[in-house]
Structure 1
Amino acid sequence: MRASLLQIAVDEGESVAARRERVAALVREQAGADLVVLPELWTTGAFAYEEFGSEAEPLHGPTYEAMAKAASDAGVWLHAGSVPERGTSAPGSAEDEGPLYNTSLVFAPNGDLAAVYRKIHRFGFDKGEAVLMSAGGELVTVRLPETTLGVATCYDLRFPELFRGLVDAGAETLVVPAGWPERRRAHWTLLAQARAVENQAFVLACGTAGTHAGVPQAGHSIVVDPWGEVLAQAGPDEEILTVDLDMTRVAATREQFPALKDRVLGLEPPRR
C-alpha cells in the first residue's frame, strides 16, 4: 500500500480559502497513492485558538466539499486531517452557539465520506482547545482494501488505552494527524514508535510545518512499522512523505512475537 503524508505549512499570511485550494491541488497530485493523509487543523493552525470559532465549519462545509472532490479526482483514500467543526446548536439558539469539535474526515476514492472522528483528548488543560472544543466519544476505524485504519488525532497519541481500543476493533494501521509543537518533538517521535511497538501496527503520523499563532511546529511526520522501525521521516518544512508499506508485516509481526495474546485485562487495584 502506498501512503503519502502531506506535511502542510500553515502560513498566517495565507488565507484559509487559499490554503484549502492549494492543499486540494496537492491531494490531486497524489494520484497513484492508495492513502493520503493531511495534518490536524491545517486550515487554521492547531494553536490559532482565536480563529476556531470564526473559521469553524459545519460537517459538510467548504473543506468537506473541497476534500471530497480532491479524493475523487485523485482516486485515493483521503484522511483529510481535521477541521474546527461547528456542531448543531440547540433549538432556539443561534447557529454560532453550537458546540465546536476538532473533527477528522476520511473519504473513499469515489469522494464519499467514509468516517468522521471527533477528537477525544483535547489539549490545553484549562485553556485553548480543552475549553473551546467539546470532546468526541467514539473510537473510529475505517476498512480499506489493504488494511483497517484506526483514527486518532495529535494529543490522543499520549493515551495508549485509546490505541488498544482501536486494535481491539481491528486496526492494523494507526493514522495520527497532528499540529505538534517543536519544543516537544522528541515526544512525538518516541510516542509514535511506542504506539507502533505496543500495538504491532503501522503508525502514520502526519504533522504540520510553519508557525501557528507564534508556536513553531515540529514537522517531522513519521512512518513506523509494526516492529517499531522508522521507515521514513520528514524534516521541519513543508514536505510530502511517500512510503510503500508491506501490509503483511502486521500479521507476521503479531505471529512471530504474539505479545498481544498475553494481555491481562481487568486487573484490580491494590488493596490498602
Structure 2
Amino acid sequence: MPFSIALWQGIARTDDVATALADLRAGVTAAAAMGARFLVAPELFLPGYNSARITELAQPRGGDWHQALAALCRAAGCGLVLGYAERAGDTVYNSAVAFDAAGQEVAHYRKTQLFGPREKAIFAPGDSLCIFEAEGRRAAILICYDVEFAPLLRELALQGVQLLLVPTANPEPNIHVSRLVVPAHAINHGLTICYANYAGREGDLAYCGGSTIVAPDGAILAFSGPAPALLIADLSYQPDPALLQTQLADYRRVR
C-alpha cells in the first residue's frame, strides 16, 4: 500500500507556542500537499526541549495543545506525531502524541529512558511501550534516547512493529546517532525508523539536524543536513531481500 511520511526538522520555538503551532501548520499542510499521511516533528516541540519553564507550561493530555494539534490535522488531512511536556497531577512526563488525518488521537507515549541529570530532574519516566496501527502498518513511538537502547527495539520488533516514529532533540556533536546508530538498529531489528530532530540553536544547545528515514535493509530513504528541512519518503519502498537480517529469529541466549 502506498504510504508516504514526512519529517519536520524545524527551529525550536522556546516557550512560543503560537509560533510553534504556526510552524506545524505550515509543515503539515506542505506534507499533505506532497501526499504524506503523517508528519513527525521533534521532541518536546511544545514548549521547546531547552525551555526553562517546562514544569510551568506542561499541559495535560487532551488539553489546549492537543485540541489545536487535532484541528491542524483535520484542516490539512494529514496525521502528526510530536513531543510535548505532559502534566499529570504533580508529575511531568516527556511525552509524544500521534493524531491521524481526521484529528483523532491514535497513540500516546511517555519517554522511558531519560537522558542526563536535567531530564531526570524534570520528568518522571514512562513505564510502557506504545504500539498502534498507522495506515495498515504496526507502528510504535520512541523518543530520542530511547532509540539507542537495543532491548527496546528488540521488544517492539518481537511484537510485530514495522514502523518506528522517533521525535528527538539531538545536539552536537552527536550526529553519529543519525548516521550510525539509527541505521544499525533499523537493519538489525527489521524496522523502518523515522527520526525527526531540530535544526539551529536553542539557548546553549546547538542541534545537529540529521533527521532521517531508514528502511529495514539499511537504505537511507531521506537524510537532512543541519538546516531546517521538510523531508518526505515513500514507505512502499521494497527492501533488498538479500540485505534483510535474521537476528531476531536466530538469536540463541547464552550465559
When the two structures are superposed, what TM-score results if normalisation uses the length of structure 1?
0.86
Over 3 Å counting, the alpha-carbon distance change for 1:249 and 1:146 in structure 2 is farther
Shift of residue 253, structure 1, vs aligned partner: 6.6
Matching residue of 2:107: 115
Cα deviation code 1:130-150 (max 9, x no counterpart): 121000011111112341112
Structure 1 contact 158–191 (Cα < 8 Å) conserved = yes
Partner of 2:9: 7
Distance apart, 1:62 and its partner CA = 2.4
Counterpart code for 1:116: H
What's the CA shift string for 1:66-114, capped at 9, x where partnerless? 21111222222321x1101111x2xxxxxxxx10001100112211111
1:163 aligns with 2:172: no
- CA displacement 1:149-206 (0-9 Å, x = unmatched): 1210001122110111111121111111100002111233211111101111111111
Aligned mates of 2:239, 2:77 — CA distance in 1:
25
Which residue does the alignment assign to 1:177? 167
SS at match of 2:86: strand
Stretches of 4+ moved more than 6 A in 1? none
The one-letter code sitting in structure 1 at the alignment partner of 2:96 is S
Identity of aligned residues (%): 27
Paired AA for residue 154 in structure 1: C
Preserved contact between residue 38 and residue 100 of structure 2 (Cα < 8 Å) = no
Distance 2:230 2:110 in 1: 25
Structure of larger gyration radius: 1
Residue 68 of structure 1 aligns with an amino acid whose one-letter code is A
* CA distance in structure 2 between the partners assigned to 1:60 and 1:192 by the alignment: 31
Give 1:94's aligned residue.
Answer: none
1:130 equivalent to 2:133? Answer no
Letter in 1 for 2:98: V
Partner Cα separation in structure 2 for residue 85 and residue 22 of structure 1? 20
* Number of residue-to-residue matches in the alignment: 251
Structure 2 CA distance for aligned equivalents of residues 247 and 143 of structure 1: 19
Instruction: State how 1:231-242 maps to structure 2 within 5 Å.
Output: 231-242=221-232
Q: 1:51 to 1:188 in 2, by over 3 A?
A: farther
| Unmatched 5+ stretches in structure 2 | none
RMSD: 1.9
- What does residue 193 of structure 1 align with? 183
Secondary structure of 1:10's aligned partner? coil
Alignment counterpart, residue 33 of structure 1, candidates 21, 36, 61: 36
Aligned-partner residue type, residue 179 of structure 1: A
